[in-house]
Amino acid sequence: MRIVFAGTPEFAAAALARLIEAAPERGWQLPLVLTQPDRPAGRGMKLTPSPVRRLAQAHGIATLTPHSLSLKKGGPEAQAAHEALRAAQADVLVVAAYGLILPQAVLDLPQGLHQRDGARLTALNIHASLLPRWRGAAPVARAIEAGDATTGVTIMQMEAGLDTGPMLLDEAVPIRPDHTAGTLTAELAQLGARLLVAALDEAQRGVLRPRPQPDTGVTYAHKIAKHESWLDFGRAACALERQIRAFDPFPVACARLGADVIRIWQARVDAGAAQAPPGTVLAADAAGIAVATGEGVLRLTQLQRAGARRLAAHEFLAGYPVVPGTRFEPAPAVAAAAG
């Protein structure tokens, strides 16, 4: 079986690593990898290849980095990518957090894996949610933000719609109270890699059975925008705590205190009611900075000033004293959104 892989971040690299590991004993071949172009990164903003590209190059796998796969928008570069895909003679295309839209012409290029029920599987996708909940770009962060008790991974058959294709395999994972988007994504990456190999094994034997997604329970995980990182202390403490975990490691929750923007990495909900206007600092000690919210008290336990390290609350307060009664200001972005 010849597999073309398309993916970009660490989540996708975990799946590619599992494919590379599984390929020799199964007789699989990986003739080509698609990934996003190198991006500026680090303090020097040096062009840096994606995790998937680094892994593919380390194993001598050819890589392509087109800016678009649309023949209309991508011009000669997209045409060359289509020709390379055709030359790879793939049986199946595997996609994991690639980040580019795949036109139907690309999805139709693989020869396909024929199943006993008559289905022909040409392109599979690893999606980090239990579809149809959280279709879209940011399923892990949105699941944490919404307070979901569980999430998981779905291996789905790709089609032109946004994560609308038939489901092939899925498995649930509980969302723990200490999960951040970063730690949960890492767990789901390993699960997705394992399920992908299982799905390809079944597909190669012709026994994989696609199941249509239910019509009910559809939600969309819209891409995280930077303006969403501002904490609105008029909301409930439990919602703010979830927001902080959902936006770790990006874009990181923040709040304005005086002239300073403070990034909030960790917090917990304290017992009791807030007897002060939302945003008011109730206490600032070694246990953290307790802030009144629209419902309950949020204690900030790990913080970061601009240009400084992220610190536990007692270390932060040693260099940046905060007086009870001080009030976090509503951020302009929050005020604009509310209007």
Only one residue has tokens 């209309």, namely 72
Distance CA 50, CA 318 (A): 39
Q: Of 267, 246, 239, 244, which is closest to residue 254 (Cα–Cα)?
A: 244
CATH topology of domain 2-221: Rossmann fold (3.40.50)
pLDDT string in tens for the chain (339-residue length): 999 999 999 999 999 999 999 999 999 999 999 999 999 987 788 899 999 999 999 999 999 999 999 999 999 999 999 999 999 999 999 999 999 999 999 999 999 999 998 889 999 999 999 999 999 999 999 999 999 999 999 999 998 888 999 999 999 999 999 999 999 999 999 999 999 999 999 999 999 999 999 999 999 999 999 999 999 999 999 999 999 999 999 999 999 999 999 999 999 999 988 889 999 999 999 999 999 999 999 999 999 999 899 999 999 999 999 999 999 998 665 444 443
pTM comes to 0.94
Give the helix/strand (H/E) hosting 267.
strand 260-270
Write the DSSP assignment of 102-147 as a string of letters.
--HHHHT-S--EE-TTS-EE-EEEEESS-TTTTEES-HHHHHHHHT
Contact 298, 233 (CB under 8 A): yes
Please tell me whether residue 320 adopts helix, strand or coil conformation.
Answer: coil
Distance CA 333, CA 338 (A): 9
Question: Which class does domain 226-338 fall in?
Answer: alpha beta
- Which residue ranges make up each domain of the chain? 2-221, 226-338
Contact 134, 220 (CB under 8 A): yes
